[in-house]
Amino acid sequence: MRWQALPLPEKTTVSLLQQEVGLSSTMASLLAQRGMKTFAAVKDFFRPKWEDLHDPFLMQDMSAAVERINTAIAQEEKIMVFGDYDVDGTTSVALMTSFLLNLTNQVTPYIPDRYKEGYGVSYQGIDHAASLGISLIVALDCGVKAVDKVAYAKDKGIDFIICDHHLPGKALPAAVALLDPKRQDCFYPFDELCGCGIGFKLIQAITINRAMDTEILPPYLDLVATAIAADIVPMVGENRTLSFFGLAQLRNNPRPGISVFLESLKKQVTITDLVFKVAPRINAAGRMDHALKAARLLMCKTKEEATLLALPIETLNTNRRATDEQITKEALRQIEERKEQEFPATVVFHDDWHKGVVGIVASRVIETHYRPTVVLTKVKNTYVGSVRSVKGFNVYQALAACETHMLQFGGHKYAAGLTLHEDQLVAFKEAFETVVAQTILPEQKMPTAVFDLSLPIEEVNAKLYRIIEQMAPFGPKNMRPVFCSQNCIDSGGSKLVGKDSSHLRLSIQTIHGPLIGIGFGLGKHFKRIQKGEAFDVLYTVDQNEWNGQLSLQLKVKDIRFPS
């Protein structure tokens, strides 16, 4: 692993923040690295306000969307809320459905079947809407490229409102309203909202237009925070404000459908808990069964109902975990047997792999073979799959260069999905490997651990931890600070831990006494550390709870020896 320090901020900015805000050099440097240069900027960062949210009517087509929904409510039209089957889409459906039910009882939630309908707006979904007499579909986290399907719906007398955050294609669907800050003609001040975030802006606009009490809005923000966490969108600007208030909602009055997965927590819920405890379970419904089950759970009003609906989803998540572990082993074996580790990209496939976990498998394969990875499985006469990338490499652009060898594709810079005919498989594999080989940079071929600052190990203390915690919520572009401390020495208490002794419990000598750190998978360094060799350590500052006692603890990302 390559270690890379972030550029140091200007000394004048750091000095100014120290004087104006009264911060240490370390904290002033961290904030300056994140773009803060004044007392006002620091204040806004540490104390997000509801007023920081932008006017939703600044978004292109927002007025048209609100007007069409008001008309549907007034005329008692039937409305379908249509969303994708991942966490962003599922939370979006729960948010929009439950909000609209305050205004009309003519609302039907719909999420496509991952295997029968595939990603995004589907003809089957539109046909189902027509059979129910639905005249308006509100699509969330999908639809920006559904040109033909929106036209198909229009022929059936069904209007579309689209709330999407993906990049539009060359042509836009003929929807009544298309809310997407990534539209070239949209000048909304923040273009990194997730699908659920855009859905929230729509209900915020409806609330303003109908002069409703704004107190109705905060209870929906636990859904928005969950979507932001799961979709890995930048934790800056409006996303950070929405997450801040979403976490407050989760801590004070969480909805039963989320709190049921957090009951074992003995601390305040964080974005990390949403990523690793809540999101996988919501996703499991769509991966292993049907995502509508998760949406119904998220709309539960009582703990008893939520507990009942959560039990089968917990089982689905257990099955999902076992399935992706088995397929990962098979994929890694396939790479070794074909010597694919020698290629610039990884493309693995099997006719019988479970479609619902190929994205997870692609991520796990990258942990072993660090390169852009495609994992495919067969569905009838097509291969469908997921693509995951490495830091800095735009896999969406790479797929676009291979467009002639696919039936369809879509996604983001680091994650995408694709479908290709079985006859296209060989040509696609060759084309993708060629594009990656021609465009990937040398520094993108090796995992890079980026750290914020070098820090003497003696400066790590409880006060530093408390201030860092106030920088939360953490996420892309506002990650938990990573530090590098050099020439550390074992205090004599370091040891191997874990069932297979593969993890390392560090005990670093400091002038204040031993400082404990845990390094997962770093047990290989134990012998050299035990011998008294000086080592450099890369870590985040965290807290450990044991038998009700809280203590400072480093989460160690990597270790290296200067010599």
Q: Please, what is the Cα angle at 293 between 290 and 295, to 5 degrees?
A: 110
Q: Please give the Cα distance from 406 to 386 (Å, whole number).
A: 13
Q: Specify the pLDDT at position 116.
A: 87
Q: Specify the pLDDT at position 412.
A: 80
Question: Is 320 within a domain?
Answer: no
Q: Specify the pLDDT at position 4.
A: 94
SS3 content of the chain, % helix, strand, coil (to 5): 45, 20, 35
**What string of DSSP letters covers 488-545?**
E-B-S--EEESTTS-EEEEEE--TTS-EEEEETT-GGGHHHHHTT--EEEEEEEEEEE
Instruction: Point out the domain boundary residue: 311, 328, 354.
Output: 311
Residue listed under structure tokens 């651990």: 449
Q: Specify the pLDDT at position 91.
A: 98
**What string of DSSP letters covers 192-256?**
---HHHHHHHHHHHHHHHTT--GGGSGGGHHHHHHHHHHHT---SHHHHHHHHHHHHHHHHS--H
Average pLDDT over residues 324-352: 92
**pLDDT above 90: residue 180:** yes
Q: In this predicted model, what pLDDT tens digit does every residue of 149-168 receive, in sequence order?
A: 999 999 999 999 999 999 89
**pLDDT above 80: residue 548:** no
Q: In this predicted model, what pLDDT tens digit does every residue of 214-234 receive, in sequence order?
A: 999 999 999 999 999 999 899
**pLDDT above 80: residue 432:** yes
Q: Specify the pLDDT at position 114.
A: 86
144 shares a domain with 258: yes
Q: Specify the pLDDT at position 354.
A: 94
397 φ, ψ (degrees, to nearest 5) = -65, -35
198 shares a domain with 105: yes
188 shares a domain with 200: yes
Q: Domain total for the chain?
A: 3
Q: In this predicted model, what pLDDT tens digit does every residue of 340-382 receive, in sequence order?
A: 778 899 999 999 999 999 999 999 999 999 999 999 999 889 9
**pLDDT above 80: residue 330:** yes
Q: Specify the pLDDT at position 38.
A: 94
Give the confidence band of 425 by pLDDT, cuts at 50, 70, 90: very high
Question: Is 156 within a domain?
Answer: yes
Q: Specify the pLDDT at position 547.
A: 75
**pLDDT above 90: residue 204:** yes
Report yes or no on whether pTM surpasses 0.75. yes
Give the CB-side neighbour count of residue 219, counting CA atoms within 13 A.
15
Instruction: Point out the domain boundary residue: 400, 424, 445.
Output: 445
Q: Please give the Cα distance from 223 to 259 (Å, whole number).
A: 11
| Chain-centre distance for alpha carbon 433 | 27
Average pLDDT over residues 106-119: 91
The domain of 256 spans 56-311
Average pLDDT over residues 277-289: 95
Q: In this predicted model, what pLDDT tens digit does every residue of 39-72 receive, in sequence order?
A: 999 999 999 999 999 999 999 999 999 999 999 9
Q: Please give the Cα distance from 522 to 505 (Å, whole number).
A: 9
**By percentage, how much of the chain surpasses pLDDT 70?**
100
Q: Specify the pLDDT at position 210.
A: 98
Q: Specify the pLDDT at position 153.
A: 98
221 shares a domain with 127: yes
168 shares a domain with 41: no
Q: Specify the pLDDT at position 267.
A: 84
368 shares a domain with 306: no
Q: In this predicted model, what pLDDT tens digit does every residue of 380-402 receive, in sequence order?
A: 899 999 999 999 999 999 999 99
Mean pLDDT of the chain: 95
302 shares a domain with 156: yes
**By percentage, how much of the chain surpasses pLDDT 90?**
91
Q: In a 3-state reduction of DSSP, which class is residue 252?
A: helix
- CATH code of 503's domain: 2.40.50.460
